[in-house]
Structure 1
């Protein structure tokens, strides 16, 4: 049996976390600066959950509705709780989960803390590299 490739071997470890009260304009500036399509929205308190903001959330919930980017806060457009995976998950199961839920990426949580972000691109491209 082949040794499985794990999420932690292909995930992106640079995680962009913003405050839920940040404006969508600030979130977009972060996305452009860091060349990312997803930001993680931090927990407000210990028993809270992480959220995520995707480019598609901003397009559908702000731009399409004619709302001002600097007058909408992250918490108004984020998806929460964020679907997340564990760093020790086999990438085959991660790929199945993401595609079944129609997601392209999600945060990686270990003991309730964000340790990375995994995307289908990471899985396909980096998974191939690890396999060779």
Structure 2
């Protein structure tokens, strides 16, 4: 029987509201030693995700102010998500295909967990799937000119 994400996910997920500033998001990431925060609206529905890379490339590099709302730099369209009943191998394949290192686990529009590539690698049962996903995720891209 395959393992479900609900058995592997981190359920204590820090989130940020879409109206909070990127400075607040960055401070939360720093304090919690995490690289991504699911973004929620006032109803608690997940509307996007913001990563440390988003903050660097979409705000700092563009000269945006620290008071810029998260909603202006987050990834909002087609945020890749998993479900608690999703098979771990399916999740690893999805992460590999989409070249992502973190997968929000959503149920009824609410964020209930997060699975990182490292979570898959820690469990020896899924080490091969994690390695394959990492290989696909880490495929280098050429610098843009």
1:4 correspondence with 2:2: yes
How many positions carry a matched residue from both structures?
A: 126
1:106 correspondence with 2:103: yes
Superposed CA RMSD in Å reads: 2.0
Give CA deviations for 1:73-110 in whole Å, capped at 9, x if unaligned: 10000111422101111111101101110111021012
1:24 correspondence with 2:22: yes
* 1:49–1:80 CA contact under 8 A, matched in 2: no
Give CA deviations for 1:51-76 in whole Å, capped at 9, x if unaligned: 1001110111011112222x211000
Provide the residue aligned with 2:76 in structure 1: 80
Unpaired segments of 5 or more residues in structure 1?
none
* 1:107–1:116 CA contact under 8 A, matched in 2: yes
Superposition misfits of 4+ residues, deviation over 6 angstroms: none
- 1:129 to partner: Cα distance: 6.5
